[in-house]
Chain A
Amino acid sequence: MATVTLDLKGLRCPQPILKITAKSVDMKPGDVMEAEANCPTFEQDVKTWCERVGKPLLLIQKDAAGVFHCKIQF
């Protein structure tokens, strides 16, 4: 089980989701993806992404600097 991190700061919708999608093909069952993004729509986008592909969203929170931190279980 590995943890993969993605820095998606500076990218705008739908680029963060496309990056997550592209990386998802390398993820193995049990792996966790941690991503950081500052696109204003990221929270809703990543929730929709997880719902569509059936992956649990372990965490989504925004820090004081406006950066979203998320964890997706594979």
Chain B
Amino acid sequence: MSKPPQNNPDLGSALAQHIDVLKKLVEGDIKARLGGEATGIRIVDEMSEYINHIASVYEDSVNQSMELSLAIAQFLNVLNQVAEGNLKVRVPMDFEQEALAALGKGINTAIEKVAERSILEELLKELSTPVLYTWEGVIVMPLIGTLTSNRAQDAMERLLNSITQYRAKVAIIDITGVPVIDSMVAQHLIKTVKAVKILGSDAIITGISAEVASILVKIGIEVEQFTTRNTLREGLQHAIKSIEGNK
């Protein structure tokens, strides 16, 4: 038969232990527990059991929150690296919590799709500004479709690299397939022609449509700055003559 709580000298000591453990839990010591033998005071022993049970539940909850927090850190770390251009990084898939594993899988799938698109864009960029080595000392860059400022910039860089690579004396930029250009793109073309001259080569622009010619005049581009020919064929003839003449 247990002793009544009143006038029990052990009661004060037991409650002090309870308070001590509860204080440690509140301070963040999630492993704090009541230990020792049962006191024999039913209400105290039941309370000890409940405190330890609640402490275990609390520890599990904190551990799960910690796991969630660490996972958020890992996800953010991966996404930051992706934002900086690293498309090879992936979220490690070792999460015990199902929801975190699903989120990690979703992030990895998204990164894979971005990586695939990036490869395709790179390929498209190369295909949209091809350089053909057509005759000894002559290269041709046929441009097709709408020229954006970025694409014109890419085309310029590629053309200049190709002049160096093929030691070209003449570079023909054929814009037969370009329906329309704006002032920014026209400025890029002028810059390209100037850069080609700096490299010691000549640039010929062929295939200027009536519409493009009209735009060039309207925006004040001095056509005298360019060597132009009506068609790619005429441009090639001019280039070959120029090469042969200099031999």
Contacts and interface: CB of A to CB of B under 8 A. Distances in A.
Interaction A to B? yes
Contact of B73 (A12, A41, A49): A49
B13 to A, nearest CB: 25
B37 interface: no
Kindly state the interface size class of chain B when it binds its partner. 10 to 19
A49 B80 CA distance: 16
Interface in A1-59: 12-14, 17-18, 20-21, 24-25, 39-41, 45, 48-49, 52-54
B70 A25 contact: no
B34 interface: no
A14 B76 contact: no
Contacts of B77: 24, 53-54
Q: Interface residues of A: mostly helix, strand, loop or mixed?
A: helix
Contacts of A52: 70, 73-74
Contact of B76 (A17, A24, A48): A24
A41 B68 CA distance: 16
**Contact-residue size bin, chain A (C-beta under 8 Å from the other chain):** 10 to 19
B29 interface: yes
A24 B73 contact: yes
B70 A17 contact: yes
A49 B30 CA distance: 18
Contacts, number: 47
B74 A53 contact: yes
A14 B66 contact: yes
Nearest to B83: A25
A17 B66 contact: yes
A13 B65 contact: yes
B144 interface: no
A25 B66 contact: no
B213 interface: no
A17 B80 CA distance: 18
A40 B70 contact: no
25 contacts: A13-B28, A13-B62, A13-B65, A14-B62, A14-B65, A14-B66, A14-B68, A17-B66, A17-B69, A17-B73, A20-B73, A21-B73, A21-B76, A24-B77, A25-B76, A40-B27, A40-B28, A41-B28, A48-B66, A48-B70, A49-B70, A49-B73, A52-B73, A53-B73, A53-B77
Given A40-B28, A49-B70, 14 more contacts: A12-B28, A13-B28, A13-B30, A14-B68, A17-B66, A17-B70, A17-B73, A18-B69, A21-B72, A24-B76, A41-B28, A41-B29, A41-B30, A53-B74
